Amino acid sequence: MQQAEVRRNVMLSVPALVVLAFAASGPLLIMLVYSFLGAGDYGGVVWHASLEGWQKVFLHRDIFDDTLSLADAHLSIFWRSLSLSFMTTVLALLFGFPTAYFIATRPPRSRNVWLFLITIPFWTNLLIRTFAIMEVIRNQGILNTLLVELGVIVEPIQILYTDVAIMLGMTYVYLPLMILPLYAALEKLDFRLVEAGYDLYATRARVLWRIIVPLVKPGIVAGCILVFIPALGAYVTPRVLGGGKNMMLGNLIELQFGQGHNWPLGAALSITLLVIVMVALLVYVRTVQRGSEHG
């Protein structure tokens, strides 16, 4: 009887395993293989082993004298992707935490209304929302016009097509992914512990830092991961708000598969992105764990 039960459980997991094999592991394997092949002249790959793709990730071959040097352009894109994703995560946490706290402290019935409002942006296509942000921050846009009219600034500030624009856009896009896990953690928080903290002479800031934050740490970790990872591979937001000039990794990869006609390089960059995400996660989780051991 127990064996039958085990067999049934295995059967139940088959659909998920099939999806994982074909939709997740399969493409990854293809990418891995492609990154070690030669580039076709008009895209695609030619089937002979080559390290050219991987070499180009980090090194730049001069067209005239054929010497190799570090690929500064790629490295600066790596750096921009990492730093912008990091800043986006920090901003999303700073905006998301008070919002999630606010929702979690409403009476149960109005909480659902607030959560519903948080999900409204998902109803609209990401591209359209990104164009809407463009409308807000461009030189003749709502924000600049308002600030000029109010006399705060004399000339419009150039925000669009800068890293700041990308950062703001990504914060807006990924904010719900921060709010939802934070809310889930805060909603489970026993607020009597907060009262106990006040009772034992902890001020508001100290209650937040010593009691609320440690107790909702799993939610903070989940939210940060959910924002950081998609931000690192973001494509639409940096494409529209960065204006093609300030590329991030996603744009660079797309370029290689498109106009660049260099699939092996694109595949190698994709694998590199994957490794960066894995290393970043590992470092992050380790840091959090060490923090709680001391805490």
Partner 1 sequence: MGADTAEVAIRVTGVSKLFGDAEQPVRALDDVSLAIRDNEFFTLLGPSGCGKTTLLRLIAGFDHPTSGSIELHGTDISHLPPYKRSVNTVFQNYALFPHMSVEQNIGFGLEMLGKPREEIEHTVDAMLRLVRMQELRDRRTDQISGGQQQRVALARALAPHPQVLLLDEPLSALDYKLRKEMQIELKRLQHETGITFIFVTHDQEEALTMSERVAVMNAGRVLQVGPPHEIYDRPIERFVADFIGDTNFLGARVQGRNGAAATLRLGCGLELEADLPPELAGASEVTVAVRPEQVTLAPAGEASLKGRLENIVYFGTDTHYHLSLPGGERFTARVQNTRGRRELFAPGSEVGIVIGAGVVQVLRD
Q: Which residues bind partner 1 (CB under 8 A)?
A: 190, 192-193, 195-203, 206, 210-211, 214-215, 292, 295
> Closest separation between CB of residue 94 and partner 1, Å?
23
Which one, 181 or 197, has the nearer CB to partner 1?
Answer: 197
Which one, 79 or 191, has the nearer CB to partner 1?
Answer: 191
Which one, 131 or 198, has the nearer CB to partner 1?
Answer: 198
> Closest separation between CB of residue 185 and partner 1, Å?
13
Which one, 203 or 289, has the nearer CB to partner 1?
Answer: 203
> Closest separation between CB of residue 204 and partner 1, Å?
8
> Closest separation between CB of residue 13 and partner 1, Å?
33
Which one, 66 or 293, has the nearer CB to partner 1?
Answer: 293
β-bridge partners, 49: 37
> Closest separation between CB of residue 90 and partner 1, Å?
23
> Closest separation between CB of residue 110 and partner 1, Å?
14
Which one, 54 or 97, has the nearer CB to partner 1?
Answer: 97
